Structure 1
Amino acid sequence: MRTPTRKTPFKLAYGSEAVIPTEVQMANHRVMKYQDEDNEEQLCLNLDLIDEVRMDAEQRIARYKSLMTRQYDAMVKPRHFNIGDLILKRVTLVTRNLAHGKLGPN
């Protein structure tokens, strides 16, 4: 189950939850309550409602992203630079002179 959507990717793709082979052999609620005649009806109902499930997941993802954005932006310290301020400029490998630096000649 994914955190932002609270749904499994299988449910979002196919409309129903997957049952792995080890779950079939174990006695759990899903296996014990399985009825073959109701299964087809429930699968059709799940396929009819898949668009609503996907829209709900999409809304959850949007809320999750906005929450993460607000949390990240709360930690950022705003910096204002004026013309003439000295700043530390990053030197890339392309513009760097190999003769300078720690291993350059004295």
Structure 2
Amino acid sequence: MGDLLRLPTAGRPEEDWAELHAHSAFSFLQGASRPEELVAEAARLGIGVLAVTDRDGLHAARRLHAAARDHGIGTVYGAELTLGEPVLGTPVVLARSVEGFRLLSSV
């Protein structure tokens, strides 16, 4: 359980693709789709791994997990963080383990 990166079993070449910076409707004015819709579209396109990196939180994590499990899509959990001044940018942080998820949840 120490590894949060849940990868699908190989089967199609396009499953090698991972979308690592998607926003859901939980990111105000940045994303419009619910996590379930993002997962369904990823499955339709043959994307093997999806990370929903909503702004300043893991808002979609539970719904992403459930939908991805149902569609056989791998998941990575992360967030795009606001660091104060806009000039600093908004880095995307991805959790690689349960400990990383815990730390990111506390930010």
Tell me if TM exceeds 0.5. Answer: no
TM-score, normalised by the number of residues in structure 1: 0.21
Larger Rg: 1 or 2?
1
Instruction: Report the structure, 1 or 2, having the larger strand content.
Output: 2
